[in-house]
Amino acid sequence: MQIPLGTLKESHQRWYGKEANITIRPFGVTLLLSLPRIGKSVVGRNILLELYKRINSFDNKRIIIVDVYGEWIEKLLTMNYYADHPFKMHEKDITHLENVVCKISDFNKLEDWVSFEVPERTSDLLAWAAQQVQVHDDDPDKFLGFLREIPTRDVPDLSQFNKKYADKGIHLSKRVDDKVATAMCNYVSSLVRRGFFKKEGDDKLYLTTEDWEGILEKTDVYKRGKIIIINLKLKGPTEKVKARATFGKILEQLEPIMMRGYYHFHFFVEEADFTFPYLEEKFDTLPLSVIKGIEYVTKFQKFHVNFYLIAQRERRLTRSIATLATCRIISRVAPDEFKWNLDIGLKCKWHPDRNMREFCIVDQNGKYRIFTPYESECEP
């Protein structure tokens, strides 16, 4: 499938004025990289709109957008009248999942808490505590109270703790180091205060694999369910751990559905360095989102999975995913992106006051084509 993105630059004399196309394969990773406010998300939306137009009512393709700040829904529903062919999606075409969170008991593995940038020793203890649903009932406040009761002394705390929770089937063989216990409570207290977990009675959306079955199966003449926006509504970069932890669980929930091979997924991930960060130097165990992302782009390609990762720097993305990119769409990038900045980025003109933006398509062989992107048909 060929997707037109713009017109080729004048320096390419043979192709001047012709369309700059990218090839969308049944599987692969496409990186969209540039400094802020240059327009990488606009190019991403142009790809999305072309894919959307080519999905018919009986197609098994699903487009899932991970929108960390909640910007895409308004953009896709608003026409850009400066475009040659203004276009917007109909609201009925989009399944909008707003403010998605998970329950405490969902984070029952070490890598779940590593996603929150919790040290591994503390993450292991938190994973054990999250499994004790009979005590905390998935209530964040009860969970925090349970953590504060975990003993830091052998006598009398350990024996009293085991006696209190014996009827719940809980038994600790040794005390927890005081520094670990304090750090654990501080980490969780911060996450609870910022509302990162589902709490009974709140307005946050909680999903399971069964819920995803229903969302993906919704198909009618309006294509409901074909476009799915996961709106995480982060308040800033300080909440990136929420995106990492939540999207990791979503990929885990979608895995059994995807492995049936019926649905073919296109994932558009905004601020991809939030969800697939380069952390190999910090942790021996990777966050769940990184583990699942690597599995999706390596082991599950036969199920037709495409990722479109939008980020400012490739160096911030986990190498295991970035190195598998089948296509890169690049404009001006940060100085520490030595390869792209020197070889390509400096060749792309950028003058925001004159609305001059150029991008470059780099294929797997390292060949590149500089182009001026088309004006976005929806709100840029």
pTM of the entire predicted model? 0.91
**In sequence order, what are the residues at sequence separation of 6 or more whose Cβ sits closer than 8 angstroms to the Cβ of residue 9?**
16, 358, 369, 370, 371, 372
Q: What is the pLDDT of residue 345?
A: 61
Separation between Cα atoms, residue 364 and residue 200, nearest integer Å: 48
Q: What percent of the chain has pLDDT over 70?
A: 92
Whether residue 73 sits in one domain with residue 112:
no
Same-domain status, 150 and 112: yes
φ, ψ of residue 65 to 5 degrees: the values are -105, 125
| pLDDT class of 290 with cuts at 50, 70, 90 | very high
In this model, does residue 333 exceed pLDDT 60?
A: yes
What local confidence, expressed as pLDDT, does residue 97 receive?
Answer: 93
Tell me the CATH number at 277: 3.40.50.300
What confidence tens digit (pLDDT) does each residue in 3-21 have? Answer: 989 888 765 545 566 888 8
Q: Which of 41, 26, 39 is nearest to 268 (CA)?
A: 41
Together in a domain, 228 and 174: no
- If one counts the domains in the chain, the total is 2
- Domain closes at, from 193, 210, 236: 193
* Tens digits of residue pLDDT in 135-164: 999 999 999 999 999 999 888 889 999 999
Report how far apart, in Å, the C-alpha atoms of 154 and of each of 148, 162, 170, 176, 326 are. 15, 11, 16, 9, 56
Same domain, 160 and 146: yes
Q: Going along 46-138, which residue ranges are E strands?
A: 61-67, 94-98, 100-101
Q: Which residues pair with 330 in a beta bridge?
A: 33, 360
Judged on CB neighbours under 10 Å (0-12, 13-18, 19+), 183 is middle
Element (H, E) at 305: strand 305-311
* Cβ-based neighbours of 81, under 8 Å, separated by 6 or more: none
From CA 380, how far away is CA 378, in angstroms rounded? Answer: 6
Mean pLDDT of 298-323: 91
Mean pLDDT score of the chain: 88
What is the rounded CA–CA span in Å between residue 366 and residue 33?
15
Whether 159 and 74 map to the same domain: the answer is no
Q: What is the pLDDT of residue 282?
A: 53
* 378 in a structural domain: no
25-to-90, 156, 228 alpha-carbon distances in Å: 27, 63, 21
| Rounded CA separation 286/222 (Å) | 40
Helices 178-193 and 140-149, packing angle to 10 deg: 170
Residues 39 and 87 in one domain: yes
Residues 206 and 157 in one domain: no
Q: Domain ends where: 148, 175, 193?
A: 193
Quote the crossing angle between the two packed helices 140-149 and 120-130, to the nearest 10°: 120
Q: How far apart are CA 198 and CA 231, in angstroms?
A: 15
Residues in the chain: 380
Q: Please report whether residue 379 resides in a domain.
A: no
pLDDT digits (tens, 9 = 90+) for 211-269: 999 888 865 544 556 899 999 989 888 899 999 999 999 999 999 999 998 889 999 99
Q: What is the pLDDT of residue 134?
A: 95
Shared domain check, 184 and 110: yes
Clarify whether residues 207 and 333 are in a common domain.
yes
Give the residue numbers spanning the domain of 14.
2-102+201-373
pLDDT tens digit sequence for 85-130: 899 988 888 899 998 999 999 999 999 999 999 988 899 999 999 9
**Structure confidence at residue 221 (pLDDT):** 47
Closest CA to 235 of 293, 274, 186: 274
Under a CB-based contact definition with an 8 Å cutoff, are residues 369 and 20 in contact? yes
Do 41 and 115 belong to one domain? no
Place of tokens 């990184």: 290
Q: Are residues 125 and 259 in the same domain?
A: no
pLDDT digits (tens, 9 = 90+) for 30-49: 999 988 888 899 999 999 99
User: 278 and 214, same structural domain?
Assistant: yes
On whether residue 380 sits in a domain, the answer given is no
Of 193, 209, 233, the domain-final residue: 193
| 352 domain residue, yes or no | yes
- For residue 363, tell me if it sits in a domain: yes
Cis? peptide before 156, omega within 30° of 0:
yes
